[in-house]
Amino acid sequence: MNTNNLVLFSPSGNIQKKSKEAKTDLANTWNLEDIYPSDNAWVKAKTEFNSKSHDILKFKDKLGQSAALLFECLDLNSEFSKQLDRLHSYASMKFDQDTGEAKYLSFSEEMEHLAIDYQASVSFIEPEILAIDEKTIFSFLQQDSRLKVYEFFLQDLLRKKKHTLSENEEKILAQAEMMATGPYTIFSVFSNAELPYPKLKLSSGETVLLNKSGYSQYRAVADRKDRKRVFDAFFGKLATFQSTFGTQLYANIKKDIFYYRSRGYKSSIERALFRNNIPKEVYYSLIDNVNSHLSTFHRYLNLKKRMLNVETLHYYDTYAPVVKGLDLNYSIEEAKELVIDSLAPLGKKYVKIARQGMYNRWIDVYPTTGKRSGAYSNGSVYDVHPFILMNFNGLFEDVSTLAHELGHAMHSYFSNKMQHYPTAGYAIFVAEVASTFNETLLINNQLSLLKDDETRLSLLMNYLDRFKGTVFRQTQFAEYELQIHNIAERGKALTGETLTKVYTDLVKKYYGSDEGVCSIDDRYTVEWAFVPHFYYNFYVYQYATSFAASTFLVEKLLRGEKQIIEQYLKFLSSGGSDYPINLLKNVGVDMTSEEPFATTIKVMERTMDEIERILE
């Protein structure tokens, strides 16, 4: 079954500021009318769904009677799930356009209730299938060819048998989702719409609002004193609410503990990885590999220190531009064409569809008051097309984010076109391959075109910043997530103070604080409260593994292995028709080996070598 809600989040929220252009430039907003022509049409569709969805109950206690009844039940469930995805996407994207609009908050909350109610209705399906003898299930597959589309689902369900509960227990767990979504919803509303973020007057005389996206922008200002003041003000405000953020995150972790214990797993991490059959060794090996290569990360930090010409590199320096006076700024039209040009190695078909998405209102481009910060791609509207949320402000980082999210959108486009709905949804583990693949193509294309040293230095450092942000920072997050879950699972309480202490120790280790690589002010280690990904249940490690996989694939492409193009497009079209590890093996990437990570480190070292040659 397609159980993935295909909303893929960017690894770091991109910048957001008020934009007058956003209010009038209709061409650069979503056309949500492609989903429903109006709010009234959405309400009507929701009402119809609510009245019909309980029809699924007519199959209760009948699934073992014949192959035909099993197919009809699974197919009706697929249809209802598809409608639910469509309803949910419209409501959530309307809310994300203005998180302060009560009407769309209500829409979004109504959909949560509707989804929970529907999950309770279909809670009989999996336990009832698992009560059927395995031989009978396989004989059904032989008897009715229509069941072929559900074969992978049925085989995977049998794998999960020991963690599937009785019908009544499954219904209780489905109803519990109504409470389980609370911590993240509170975090989202509080941190995006209601937290009283500080205002700061910069040395230029400009007064800026340091909300999450404002911080993401102004932490990179050229003036060093301003950077420090931005960090002091932003994290000082977060620290004021440390206990509140701690209570929210601890509540979310307790939710994870409830679910892993209810289903008979040994830990939260085991439950998270088991869903997509990811070996635990992949997670632990990532952390071990990154920790054993912190010297490479420290080389990057020392290079940044050298280029900034500072005696001591501070944490507030890590986002600073290193090429003074170089202003790489792009209009959205320039950004679109840069991204499209960089995708040429993937062939005319890929480029044509990408252009269609760029210019047919798949994207909500500009930041506006109340709009959700960051960026994501939503590919869960199966019969329409993907949608992309951006907060574009013209920096190269924004161009790269556009390439990233378009990679997700293209993955969804190909999967939805080539797969039936039950196997169209793909796992996050493979999703980030498509996005980071596009980012790498973009940077390589730009480096092939731009020859002056200053511009190349800027782009090469931007590329290194991707390694920092996607490999090292996300693995740091993954290790933090593992540590705080382990603490809670041992019965220890997590307070805001405890969460900050764990984060402090970890960030100082990664940034080489004791070795004098980067000075970390304890005032800034409340940073964990800024990261929404900690609410996504062991999500972030997949940024790092996917970046390693895509780097490995791009290296093969650059070596002239032409078969990679065909294999890669087939990979994008495979959806969730197999386990993520197997899908990557089909395109030549073995994530159970160290080869992808070793290749990634080599590319990072090679990039630093080139920077040092230019500096010499």
Domain 31-164 and domain 204-325+459-535, same fold? Reply is no
Class of domain 31-164: mainly alpha
Beta-sheet strands, E only, within 404-557: none
Q: Between 601 and 181, whose confidence is greater?
A: 601
- Determine phi and psi for 268, rounding to 5 degrees: -65, -40
4 has a pLDDT exceeding 60: no
Distance CA 20, CA 367 (A): 9
The pLDDT-based confidence of 213 (bands split at 50, 70, 90) is: confident
517 has a pLDDT exceeding 50: yes
Q: Between 561 and 270, whose confidence is greater?
A: 270
Query: Two tokens at 542?
Result: 């997949």
415 has a pLDDT exceeding 50: yes
pTM confidence score: 0.85
Distance CA 382, CA 425 (A): 9
The pLDDT-based confidence of 10 (bands split at 50, 70, 90) is: low
**Which residue in the list 112, 170, 405, 479 is annotated as catalytic?**
405
Q: What is the DSSP string of 356-405?
A: HHHHTT-EE-S--TTPPPS-EEE---TTS--EEE----SBHHHHHHHHHH
Q: Give the CATH superfamily of 204-325+459-535.
A: Oligoendopeptidase f, C-terminal domain (1.10.1370.20)
The pLDDT-based confidence of 38 (bands split at 50, 70, 90) is: very high
What does DSSP assign to residue 329? B
Domain range summary for the chain, segments of one domain joined by +: 31-164, 204-325+459-535, 332-448+545-615
pLDDT score of 100: 86
Rounded to the nearest 10 degrees, the angle between the axes of helix 167-180 and helix 182-189 is 20
The per-residue pLDDT for range 325-354, each reduced to its tens digit, is 556 789 999 999 999 999 999 989 999 999
The pLDDT-based confidence of 217 (bands split at 50, 70, 90) is: confident
| Residue 7: strand, helix, or coil | strand
pLDDT score of 562: 78
Distance of alpha carbon 345 from the chain centroid: 25
Q: Between 498 and 397, whose confidence is greater?
A: 498
pLDDT score of 325: 56
In sequence order, the 6+-apart residues with CB closer than 8 A to the CB of 74 are 1, 125, 147, 150, 153, 422
pLDDT score of 8: 60
Query: Two tokens at 464?
Result: 């290194």
Query: Two tokens at 561?
Result: 């292995």
Nearest one of 433, 233, 224, 454 to 317, comparing CA atoms: 224
pLDDT score of 382: 97
Query: Two tokens at 151?
Result: 């074969």
13 has a pLDDT exceeding 70: no
Query: For residue 329, what are the β-bridge partners?
Result: 395
3-state secondary structure 240-294: HCHHHHHHHHHHHHHHHHHHHHHCCCCCHHHHHHHCCCCCHHHHHHHHHHHHHCH
Average pLDDT of the segment spanning 205-214: 92
Average pLDDT of the segment spanning 451-469: 90
| Residue 419: strand, helix, or coil | coil
The per-residue pLDDT for range 125-153, each reduced to its tens digit, is 999 999 999 999 999 999 999 999 999 99
CA separation, residue 65 to residues 53, 140, 222, 521 (Å): 22, 10, 70, 66
Query: For residue 395, what are the β-bridge partners?
Result: 329
- The amino acid at residue 225 is K
State which fold the 332-448+545-615 domain adopts: Neurolysin; domain 3 (1.10.1370)
pLDDT score of 323: 81
The answer to whether 155 and 422 are in contact (CB under 8 A) is: no
Query: Two tokens at 418?
Result: 């080539």
The per-residue pLDDT for range 540-598, each reduced to its tens digit, is 999 999 999 999 999 998 888 878 999 999 999 999 999 999 999 999 999 999 999 99
515 is catalytic: no
287 has a pLDDT exceeding 70: yes
Triad 316, 322, 324: Cα angle to 5°? 115
460 has a pLDDT exceeding 50: yes
The answer to whether 2 and 421 are in contact (CB under 8 A) is: yes
pLDDT score of 54: 93
222 has a pLDDT exceeding 80: yes
84 has a pLDDT exceeding 70: yes
The answer to whether 10 and 390 are in contact (CB under 8 A) is: no
Mean predicted lDDT score pLDDT of the chain: 92
The per-residue pLDDT for range 428-451, each reduced to its tens digit, is 899 999 999 999 999 999 999 988
5 has a pLDDT exceeding 50: no
pLDDT score of 22: 43
Task: Give exposure, 541-550, as e/b (b: 16+ Cβ within 10 Å).
Answer: bbbbbbbbbb
Average pLDDT of the segment spanning 489-512: 97
- The amino acid at residue 523 is R
| Residue 207: strand, helix, or coil | strand
Query: For residue 200, what are the β-bridge partners?
Result: 208
- The amino acid at residue 221 is V
The answer to whether 380 and 88 are in contact (CB under 8 A) is: yes
